[in-house]
């Protein structure tokens, strides 16, 4: 299996894991304050990441990596979790999932700005078409979607796209799971400290579903999913593999219907079927540019081999 195919498979597994994030967050915010939820999930994931880094004796990132890790932390450790948790106080998880369809385009754009990739023109046609389908559907739902929730989701998408692209760029030299682990660890003093100030006055109002949801977003959404996702972006190309996120709303909507009994209309289904075709087209025309190839993601992948004391996705 070539590295590009391996990257797409790894990215797909990451998308499957991330698909449960918004429904789980929706369940959690019914009983847990959004700010505490954001800090708690980052703290739990950070402690687990620190244990992995110590047990596997990973080398500390260089000074030149700290800015990139800070951007990753801003985008995926703090920004996206907090903004989506706040948004889900105003909109349903099904409505928020539709906005995730804009994430591939945001990631691809930042992949060019930060990762130096240059996909072919046809790639952008399919990418923009998929984003337009999602955005158009969201606008048609404007009468039932909270403006505050929509704005919060859009801000979350921008920050997340930046965090994804920056993390993928850094993964080429630091390693996929190491990137999210170090980003979580570097954020740990702040997230753990603030979490103590946002502890609920009483735990009695938090039901078991909320605790299970917190466990999912802490373990899978904040850590395990990124092991596959950053590896996929590094091996398969940021712009190309990011288009797999167009499938995330489809999986997420099914989970929202099954777990939350939320209404998923035929319009939502039709939009997500259409974006699957856009993913196929984007994959066909996605081609990492010279800058991406020169970065030699295979070198980073080598650091994930057992002989290098790292965990392979």
Share of the chain above pLDDT 70, in %: 81
Q: Is the pTM of this model over 0.85?
A: no
Question: Exposed (0-12), middle (13-18) or buried (19+): which is 197, by Cβ within 10 Å?
Answer: exposed
The predicted structure's pLDDT at residue 145: 64
Whether 118 maps to a domain, the answer reads: yes
- The DSSP result for 132-178, as a single string, is HHHHHHHHHTTTTS-HHHHHHHHHHHHHHHHHHHHHHHHHHHH-HHH
Q: Is residue 98, in this structure, part of any structural domain at all?
A: yes
Total of domains in the chain:
1
Residue 111 structural domain: 3-198+207-308
pLDDT at residue 256 greater than cutoff 90: no
Q: How far is CA 130 from CA 5, 19, 127, 187, 282, in A?
A: 22, 18, 5, 34, 9
Q: What is the largest CA-CA distance in the chain?
A: 56
Is residue 235's pLDDT more than 60? yes
Residue 259 buriedness (CB in 10 A; 0-12 / 13-18 / 19+): middle
- Could you tell me how far CA 274 lies from the centroid of its own chain? 22
Q: Is residue 313 part of a domain?
A: no
Residue 151 lies inside a defined structural domain of this protein: yes
- Quick check: 90 and 149 in contact, CB under 8 A? yes
- In a domain, residue 153? The reply is yes
Give the list of residues 6+ apart from residue 62 with CB closer than 8 angstroms, or none. none
pLDDT at 120 over 90: no
Q: How high is the pLDDT of residue 308? A: 41
Model confidence band, residue 136 (pLDDT cutoffs 50, 70, 90): confident
Closest to 249 in 3D by CA, of 111, 134, 77, 132: 134
Give pLDDT, residue 243.
79
Q: Would you tell me how many other CB atoms lie within 10 Å of the CB of residue 310?
A: 21
Across 27-31, 94-98, 102-106, which has the greatest mean pLDDT?
27-31
Asked whether residue 11 is assigned to any structural domain, the reply reads: yes
Closest CA to 230 of 185, 179, 279: 179
What does each C-alpha distance from 302 to 12, 125, 139, 145, 173 come to in angstroms?
21, 34, 45, 46, 10
Report the C-alpha gap between 252 and 37 in whole angstroms. 20
In a domain, 39, yes or no: yes
178 inside domain: yes
Mean pLDDT (the chain) is: 80
């Amino acid at each position: 299996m070539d590295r590009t195919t391996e990257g797409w498979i790894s990215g797909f597994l990451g998308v499957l894991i991330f698909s449960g994030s918004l429904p789980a967050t929706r369940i959690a915010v019914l009983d847990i304050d959004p700010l505490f939820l954001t800090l708690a999930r980052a703290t739990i994931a950070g402690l687990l990441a620190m244990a992995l880094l110590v047990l596997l004796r990973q080398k500390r990132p260089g000074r030149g990596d700290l800015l990139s890790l800070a951007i990753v932390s801003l985008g995926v450790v703090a920004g996206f979790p907090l903004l989506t948790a706040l948004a889900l106080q105003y909109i349903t998880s099904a409505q928020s999932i539709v906005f995730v369809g804009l994430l591939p385009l945001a990631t691809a754009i930042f992949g060019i700005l930060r990762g130096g990739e240059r996909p072919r023109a046809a790639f952008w046609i399919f990418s923009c078409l998929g984003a337009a389908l999602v955005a158009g559907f969201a606008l048609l739902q404007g009468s039932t979607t909270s403006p505050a929730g929509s704005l919060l989701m859009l801000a979350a998408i921008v920050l997340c796209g930046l965090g994804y692209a920056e993390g993928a760029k850094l993964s080429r030299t630091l390693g996929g799971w190491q990137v999210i682990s170090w980003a979580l660890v570097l954020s740990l003093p702040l997230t753990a400290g603030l979490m103590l100030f946002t502890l609920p006055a009483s735990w009695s109002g938090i039901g078991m579903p909320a605790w299970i949801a917190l466990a999912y977003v802490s373990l899978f959404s904040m850590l395990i999913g990124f092991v596959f996702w950053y590896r996929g972006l590094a091996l398969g190309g940021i712009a190309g593999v990011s288009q797999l996120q167009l499938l995330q709303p489809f999986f997420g909507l099914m989970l929202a219907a099954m777990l939350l009994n939320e209404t998923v209309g035929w319009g939502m289904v039709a939009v997500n079927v259409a974006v699957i075709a856009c993913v196929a087209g984007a994959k066909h025309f996605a081609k990492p540019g010279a800058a991406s190839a020169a970065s030699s993601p295979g070198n980073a992948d080598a650091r994930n081999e057992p002989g290098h004391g790292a965990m392979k996705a």
